[in-house]
Amino acid sequence: MNNQDCIFCKIVAGDIPCFKIYETENILSFLDIGPVNKGHALVIPKGHYKNLWDIPADLGKELMTAAQVAGDAIVKATGADGLNLLMNNNDAAGQLVFHAHFHLIPRFKDDGLKLWDQGEYNDMDEAMALAQKIEKMIK
């Protein structure tokens, strides 16, 4: 299952080179060409899935295992103090390539990167109402 216009599918097919760091039958991990910090890598399924919700559960487990393996190696190789694992899903969340992928970003004390600002609920009733609404969507 490939998308001919997808840059990640072209990387999987070998049409575009990459700096591969880890590979299994279903997963590929390679350095991001525009790294936030050196060692920033991507973990992708080889099949084309748009985002988190399209990934089959079994493949999701493989992706997480690959993120653990590659993430551990990145931290060791770069001497990082930590690692961010993140995934952007859809335009509003900053997804630029519509082929599901995790970012593994090595982090260093005082690297100048900032996490997003935190907000707050008006009160605990608002938080409870939203939690209940979300829970109903799961059931």
> CA-CA distance, 99 to 112, in Å (whole number)?
29
Residue showing tokens 């970012």: 103
58 in Cβ contact with 20 (< 8 Å): no
Instruction: Give the SS3 label for residue 85.
Output: strand
Comparing C-alpha atoms, which of 93, 102, 118 is closest to residue 69? 102
CA 138 to chain centre: 23
The residues assigned a catalytic role are: 101
Count of helices and strands (H, E) across the chain: 3, 5
